[in-house]
Every structure is written in C-alpha cells, then in structure tokens.
C-alpha cells in the first residue's frame, strides 16, 4: 500500500467516524427538510457538488500565463463531458475580519476565527457578490447554484476542530445570512435557490435550533453528499492529491460498476488546505472513469427530480404516490430522506405528514415560548405545531387532554381523519396502517 493510499484512508476514516457520531446523536423524525446524500436510483446517473466558490483566481499549480479562473476551468471540464455541476457558492467572506491567517495544512488554513475564500486576504476574488461574471458563466452552462451561505460562518460551535471559530448566534442570524445570498441571486440573476449545505456540516445552533429549522423556514432542502471527491485533502505533493481524487472512484467502479448510481459526490471549487487545487486535474480523471462506465453527471436538483427518495426507487409501485404527496407539500420523508414505507404510522406522524410543512414558523414560536400543545406533547417535540394544527382542524382528537402521539393509527381513525381533511374516506383492508398504505391512500384523495 502506497503512502498516498494510507493517507487517504486515514483522513477519510476520521471523517467517516465524525459523520457517524453526528448521525448517532441526531434524532430522526418526519421533516419538511430532508438531508439528501444519495437517492435510490438504479440508473447510472450521479451529481457532483462544488463547495466554496466561485473562485476567480487560477488553479494552483497552473501553466505559465494561464489566468483562467478555477471556477471556469471546472465548468469547462464538466461541459467537455456533457456534465452539469452543482456549485454550492458563498456570497462574500470579506466581512469576516479582524482575523489572522491559520497554519497551512490545518483546518484553519484560511483563517483562525472565520473562513476566507478563496484565501486569507483575497476575499475580493471569491464569492458570488464579488464574482458576478462567474455566476453568469455557470448559469450560461446550465449548472446549478446552491447556497453555502453568504459569509460561510459556522451555524454553531464545532469543537475540537474549529474551537477558535466565532459561530452565528442562533436561527435568526442564520436566516439573515441565508436570506442575503438568496436575495442577491434573485435580484441579480432572477435565480431561485432550492438547496443548501451548512458550513462544515455544523447543524446545531446556540439557541437549540438546527440547520433543519433554518432550511425549513427558507424552503430549502439540505444537500449533503454520499461520496467524498477528496479535493480538500492536503498530501505531500500535488500529484498525490490528484491521485487521491480518482483512485477511490476507480477502485469502486472496478468492484461494482453501479456503485455511483444516485450518489452525490462532494468536490471543492477552491483550494485545499495546502493552498493547491487538485480538482483542476483530478476532476477530468474522475469524469473519464465515470463516463467510461456509462454514467451521466446531472445537477443535484435534476437527480432529485428523477428520484427524490433514499429508499424508494422509481420502479416501485409506491414511488409515484409518494412523489405526488411530496410535490403537494406533505412531509412524506424523515430527516434522512427515507419514507420507511413498511413502518407503522403513529398519530404524531400522521399530523406531521399532513401539517408539518405549513407549521414551520409555528413550531419555532412554540419552542421559543415553551408552549406545550397538550399534556403529553412537549413544546420541543418536533411534531408539536403539526399536532396542534391537526387538533384545531378537527382531524385528530384528544382523550382526557392527551394526544398519545406514539400510538398507532388504526384504519378506522385514518378513515375518519381523511373524511375531515379530504371529504372522503379510503377503504383500508389491513389491520395495521403502514406509512406506505397511508401515502397511497392520501395521494389518491388529493
């Protein structure tokens, strides 16, 4: 095993362990905001996302006299293969001062208190606000723009990796930051952002809210990734960094040519921690491998249009029903983007499935004011606002002042619910009401 392979494996192992710890601590519930890592697509189609741009400075290293902006080079490489990328852009990091440059090769390479893109002291050469010509170039190439926030400031603390960073104070300043970039894209380009990724995947905020709350308020979905393109990884030399980008893809494809079906691949539109940009050469090597196996690279939104779910593929009977409900604003999925079609539906889940998307702001207020809607549903229950709305609408009832949110919904109760909500009750033959049965029945009624 080469030194490069060992370094790649060690770095990715640490990253996977950190991601697994986050997932283990994160409760999963039905949500209007879904964390999208990969979808259950059986076609050879994948998406590539490029964080931290746009970047006006050229690739490092680059050929003498070549001043092509890194973002343009990435776009040209994608277009050479008929691919469309998803560029997860920032607005402007020039307001992130006073600050000091961090140690090269460390997580704080671009700043000790804040991030600066494309590099410390060079903020004017990065970000959508400073580089409108690059945004225009990306849109002309039919690439997608998503939000990596305006200033790329952490949503909350992240120790020990970014212990010296100053995070935003809570959901209100996070929303203000997201809205700045959202408004800029609408006003300057007539472009509506649909997806967002939080800086360094930090979700929890100081006031107890999370990125899921902020994205629900903004009408965004949480764009994550299922495969690391490794362009951020600093190794001993540039050639090793380029190799680290394409060798893992070659390895996976040699074992299973369908491995990348429905996957979202994480990439960098900027420099790694050694201030180099292996994506400038590594991306083409990746695309050569994928296209030799018949893959297409589409935008993240195009991928989600083909298949929005992590556990439900287009060839399944329930797929079109679930997609219809999702398009109508129903909370069909859990936070991890699964439908869990065979699990038994509870009363709290039924309320959330039908009322969750329309009660996002009410949930924020219930938490802030600590108002519990019933004696057995706390104010901080993620379904609290939806439950209250469902009770107020007469769709679900109380018994002795209690709601019993974890009690299974009976077919009779579901029929009564649908009679109130849709004016018609479906015929349910099963004794146990599953998520899949409820999804199909409601989709047929809307």
Q: Are 57 and 118 in contact (CB under 8 A)?
A: yes
First to last CA, the chain: 58
Give the C-alpha separation, 212 to 216, whole Å: 6
Note whether 287 and 369 are same-domain residues. Answer: no
The dihedral built from the CA positions of residue 242, 244, 250 and 253, taken in this order, carries a sign that is negative
Q: Is residue 110 part of a domain?
A: yes
Residues in CB range of 344: below 8 A, 6 or more apart? 408, 432, 433, 434, 435
Q: Is residue 311 part of a domain?
A: no
Q: Is residue 38 part of a domain?
A: yes
Note whether 300 and 349 are same-domain residues. Answer: no
Note whether 324 and 283 are same-domain residues. Answer: no
Q: Is residue 46 part of a domain?
A: yes
What is the SS3 assignment for 259-288?
A: CCCCEEEEEECCCCCCCCCCHHHHHHHHHH
Domain of residue 187, CATH code: 3.20.20.370
The pLDDT, as a whole number, for residue 18 is 56
Category of 268 on φ-ψ map: left (φ > 0), alpha (ψ -120 to 50) or beta: beta
Q: Is residue 309 part of a domain?
A: no
Note whether 173 and 92 are same-domain residues. Answer: yes
The pLDDT, as a whole number, for residue 3 is 47
Look up residue 443 and give its two tokens. 């989709």
Look up residue 142 and give its two tokens. 């039919």
The pLDDT, as a whole number, for residue 1 is 40
Tokens 């009679």, located at residue:
419
Give the C-alpha separation, 287 to 245, whole Å: 11
Note whether 218 and 181 are same-domain residues. Answer: yes
Note whether 320 and 297 are same-domain residues. Answer: no
Look up residue 195 and give its two tokens. 């997806």
Give the C-alpha separation, 30 to 338, whole Å: 9
Where a domain ends, among 256, 275, 304? 304
Note whether 152 and 229 are same-domain residues. Answer: yes
Convert the pLDDT of each residue in 57-88 to its tens digit.
Answer: 999 999 999 999 999 999 999 999 999 999 99
The pLDDT, as a whole number, for residue 161 is 85
pTM above 0.85, yes or no: yes
Q: Is residue 39 part of a domain?
A: yes
Query: DSSP for 410-437?
Result: PHHHHHHHHHHHHSS------SS-BHHH
Q: Is residue 112 part of a domain?
A: yes
Where a domain ends, among 263, 281, 304? 304
Q: Is residue 178 part of a domain?
A: yes
Mean pLDDT of the chain: 94
Note whether 322 and 285 are same-domain residues. Answer: no
Grouping H, G, I as helix, E, B as strand and the rest as coil, residue 48 is strand
Grouping H, G, I as helix, E, B as strand and the rest as coil, residue 186 is helix
Q: For Cα atoms 270, 276, 279, give the angle at the middle one, nearest 5 degrees.
A: 60
Domain of 381 in residue numbering reads as: 316-445
Note whether 195 and 141 are same-domain residues. Answer: yes
Q: Are 114 and 150 in contact (CB under 8 A)?
A: no
Rg of the chain over all Cα atoms, to the nearest angstrom: 23
Note whether 258 and 331 are same-domain residues. Answer: no
Note whether 291 and 393 are same-domain residues. Answer: no
Q: Are 162 and 114 in contact (CB under 8 A)?
A: no
DSSP tag of 126: B
When divided into structural domains, the chain yields a total of 2
Query: In 10 A of CB 117, how many CB atoms?
Result: 31
Give the C-alpha separation, 345 to 437, whole Å: 9
Strands 221-223 and 195-196: parallel
Please identify every stretch of the chain with a pLDDT value under 50, giving residue numbers as ranges.
1-5
Note whether 16 and 47 are same-domain residues. Answer: yes
Tokens 């296209």, located at residue:
291
Helix axes 132-140, 171-189, angle to 10 degrees: 70
The pLDDT, as a whole number, for residue 184 is 98
Where a domain ends, among 266, 283, 304? 304
């Amino acid at each position: 095993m080469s030194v490069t392979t060992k370094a790649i494996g060690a770095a990715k192992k640490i990253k996977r362990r950190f991601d697994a710890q986050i997932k283990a601590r994160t409760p999963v519930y039905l949500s209007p905001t879904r964390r999208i890592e990969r979808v259950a697509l059986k076609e050879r189609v994948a998406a590539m996302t490029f964080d931290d741009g746009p970047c006006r400075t050229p690739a490092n290293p680059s050929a003498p006299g070549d001043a092509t902006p890194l973002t343009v080079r990435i776009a040209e490489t994608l277009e050479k293969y008929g691919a469309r990328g998803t560029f997860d852009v920032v607005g402007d990091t020039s307001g992130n001062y006073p600050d000091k440059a961090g140690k090269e090769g460390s997580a704080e390479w671009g700043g000790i208190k804040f991030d600066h893109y494309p590099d410390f002291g060079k903020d004017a050469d990065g970000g959508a606000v400073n580089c409108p010509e690059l945004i225009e170039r990306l849109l002309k190439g039919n690439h997608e723009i998503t939000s990596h926030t305006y200033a790329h400031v952490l949503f909350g603390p992240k120790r020990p990796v970014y212990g010296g960073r100053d995070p935003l104070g809570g959901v209100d300043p996070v929303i203000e930051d997201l809205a700045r970039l959202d408004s800029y894209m609408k006003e300057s380009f007539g472009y509506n952002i649909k997806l967002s990724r939080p800086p360094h995947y930090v979700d929890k905020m100081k006031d107890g809210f999370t990125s899921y709350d902020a994205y629900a308020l903004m009408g965004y979905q949480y764009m994550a990734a299922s495969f690391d393109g490794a362009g951020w990884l600093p190794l001993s030399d540039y050639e090793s960094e380029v190799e680290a980008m394409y060798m893992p893809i070659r390895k996976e494809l040699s074992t299973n040519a369908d491995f990348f079906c429905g996957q979202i691949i994480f990439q960098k539109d900027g420099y790694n921690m050694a201030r180099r940009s292996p994506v400038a050469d590594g991306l083409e090597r990746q695309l050569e491998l994928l296209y030799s196996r018949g893959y297409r690279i589409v935008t993240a939104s195009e991928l989600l249009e083909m298949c929005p779910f992590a556990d439900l593929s287009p060839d399944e009977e329930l797929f079109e029903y679930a997609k219809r409900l999702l398009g109508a604003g129903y909370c069909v999925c859990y936070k991890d983007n699964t439908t869990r079609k065979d699990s038994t539906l509870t009363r709290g889940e039924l309320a959330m499935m039908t009322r969750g998307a329309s009660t996002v702001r009410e949930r924020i207020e219930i938490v802030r004011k600590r108002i519990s809607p019933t004696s057995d549903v706390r104010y901080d229950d993620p379904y609290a606002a939806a439950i209250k709305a469902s009770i107020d609408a007469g769709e679900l009832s109380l018994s002795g002042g209690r709601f019993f949110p974890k009690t299974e919904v009976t077919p009779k109760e579901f029929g009564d619910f649908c009679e109130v909500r849709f004016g018609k009750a479906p015929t349910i033959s099963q004794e146990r009401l599953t998520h899949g049965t409820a999804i199909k029945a409601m989709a047929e009624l809307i």
